[in-house]
């Protein structure tokens, strides 16, 4: 995996992941105000064990390419890269929602200050990618054995630790998947390669996995609520961890198989630019839901959730193309030279897009 090329199935799997992530927020955002569940709640319920773990596992797949770089270059591409976009979009969110809409300047400033140490809202994922990358580098430098790190991280994940610090809580919940993506990447690639040689068997395996996943999530008594999912057997911590790993690999395999079908290149593009969507989907998501409910255009939970999902995915893409075409607001999706650590390639070459972080 040192050739530096992109893999279309990796981008496709990331595309599936970002759709599921936005779907969860869309369904729960609508469910909060309708006090009801729709069809997307059941899809999200099915994906609950692997939805976020898969995103983190994929984010760690290519870490072995960069882990041995010197600290300056590594930190620029794997830590500062994410913190820059986090800072930009947290500022936008607070200024618009609290400073302008809420007319609460002191609240805006205190919120921005808190966001430095506590990941804010849905942007916690970007924040934690930087933290995970930093932790992985320190672990590599300390030469800790992989088995020990995985054992400790898995224990923390299964313990369901609820810390006063949201950053600590999310670190305990998801670091194991990021690290497994790093150390287990050769095995993931071998599984996908095996699927490439026997696609019919791979499709059959995915069907069996989906049936088993649905059974374990919804039995006994598993049910979606307007803003959360109550799982059945899948809630058992060791089983939940296993389902997260298996589900992440299943989505990688599905990504490969989908890329062999016609008219699926949009999914690869979406995955390649998944952070573009992740950074910008919250504002259109809320706006569409508010407009639809106030005008009465859509009132049913299912149809409203689907509409919110589609627009929450589409608007960031439109915004991205508008920025690329006009050159206005490039800082939203491209890191300028001044935001690089001096002496790194980015500080000399200029802007770095949000998508790559190698």
- Which among 177, 179, 189 has a CA at the least distance from the CA of 55? 177
pLDDT digits (tens, 9 = 90+) for 306-347: 999 999 999 999 999 999 999 999 999 999 999 999 888 876
Instruction: Determine the average pLDDT of the residues in 63-75.
Output: 94
Q: Is the pLDDT of residue 115 over 70?
A: yes
317 exposed, middle or buried (CB, 10 Å; 0-12, 13-18, 19+)? Answer: middle
Confidence of residue 2 (pLDDT cuts 50, 70, 90): very low
How many C-beta neighbours within 10 Å does residue 43 have? 17
Confidence of residue 1 (pLDDT cuts 50, 70, 90): very low
The position carrying tokens 């409203």 is 304
Compute the radius of gyration of the chain from its Cα atoms: 20
Instruction: Determine the average pLDDT of the residues in 108-134.
Output: 95
pLDDT digits (tens, 9 = 90+) for 139-187: 999 999 999 999 999 999 999 999 999 999 999 999 999 999 999 999 9
Cα(51)–Cα(47) distance, rounded to whole angstroms? 5
Q: Is the pLDDT of residue 18 over 90?
A: yes
- Which among 289, 342, 280 has a CA at the least distance from the CA of 313? 280
Torsion of CA 265, 268, 272, 275, to 10 degrees: 110
- DSSP run (H or E) holding 334: strand 334-335
Instruction: Determine the average pLDDT of the residues in 87-109.
Output: 93
First-last CA distance in the chain: 12
pLDDT digits (tens, 9 = 90+) for 197-240: 999 999 999 999 999 999 999 999 999 999 999 999 999 999 99
Please tell me the predicted confidence (pLDDT) of residue 107. Answer: 93
CB 116 within 8 A of CB 137: no
pLDDT digits (tens, 9 = 90+) for 21-66: 999 999 999 999 999 999 999 999 999 999 999 999 999 999 999 9
CB 82 within 8 A of CB 126: yes
Instruction: Determine the average pLDDT of the residues in 117-122.
Output: 92
Please tell me the predicted confidence (pLDDT) of residue 355. Answer: 60
67 exposed, middle or buried (CB, 10 Å; 0-12, 13-18, 19+)? Answer: middle
Torsion of CA 69, 331, 83, 318, to 10 degrees: -100
Cα(324)–Cα(302) distance, rounded to whole angstroms? 34
Q: Is the pLDDT of residue 289 over 90?
A: yes
CB 332 within 8 A of CB 353: no
- DSSP code string of 217-271: HHTTT-EEETTEEE-SGGGSHHHHHHHHHHHHHHHHHHHHHHHTSTT-HHHHHHH
CB 177 within 8 A of CB 245: yes
Q: Is the pLDDT of residue 69 over 70?
A: yes
- Which among 131, 177, 172 has a CA at the least distance from the CA of 155? 172
Q: Is 205 helix (H, G, I), strand (E, B) or coil?
A: helix
Number of helices and strands in the chain (H, E): 17, 4
């Amino acid at each position: 995996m040192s050739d530096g090329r992109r893999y279309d199935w990796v981008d496709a799997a990331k595309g599936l992941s970002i759709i599921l992530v936005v779907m969860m927020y869309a369904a729960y955002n609508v469910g909060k105000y309708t006090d009801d569940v729709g069809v997307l709640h059941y899809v999200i319920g099915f994906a609950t064990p692997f939805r976020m773990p898969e995103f983190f596992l994929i984010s760690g797949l290519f870490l072995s390419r960069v882990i041995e770089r010197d600290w300056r270059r590594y930190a620029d591409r794997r830590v500062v890269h994410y913190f820059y976009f986090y800072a930009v979009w947290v500022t936008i969110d607070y200024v618009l929602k609290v400073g302008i809409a809420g007319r609460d300047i002191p609240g805006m400033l205190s919120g921005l200050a808190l966001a430095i140490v506590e990941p804010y809202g849905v942007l916690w994922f970007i924040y934690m990618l930087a933290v995970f990358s930093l932790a992985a580098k320190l672990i590599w430098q300390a030469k800790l054995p992989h088995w020990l790190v995985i054992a400790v991280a898995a224990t923390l994940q299964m313990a369901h630790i609820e810390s006063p610090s949201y950053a600590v809580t999310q670190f305990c919940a998801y670091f194991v998947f990021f690290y497994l993506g790093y150390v287990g990447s050769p095995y993931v690639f071998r599984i996908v390669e095996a699927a490439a040689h026997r696609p019919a068997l791979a499709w059959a395996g995915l069907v069996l996995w989906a049936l088993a996943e649905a059974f374990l999530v919804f039995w006994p008594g598993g049910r979606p609520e307007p803003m959360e999912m109550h799982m059945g057997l899948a809630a058992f911590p060791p089983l939940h961890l296993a389902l997260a790993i298996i589900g992440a690999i299943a989505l990688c395999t599905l990504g490969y198989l989908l890329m062999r079908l016609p008219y699926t290149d949009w999914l690869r593009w979406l995955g390649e630019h998944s952070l573009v969507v992740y950074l910008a989907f919250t504002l259109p998501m809320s706006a569409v839901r508010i407009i639809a409910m106030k005008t009465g255009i859509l009132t049913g939970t299912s149809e409203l959730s689907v509409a919110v999902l589609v627009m929450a995915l589409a608007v960031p893409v439109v915004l991205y193309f508008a920025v690329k075409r006009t050159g206005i607001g490039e800082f939203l999706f491209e890191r300028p030279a001044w935001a690089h650590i001096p002496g790194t390639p980015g500080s000399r070459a200029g802007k770095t897009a949000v998508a790559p972080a190698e």
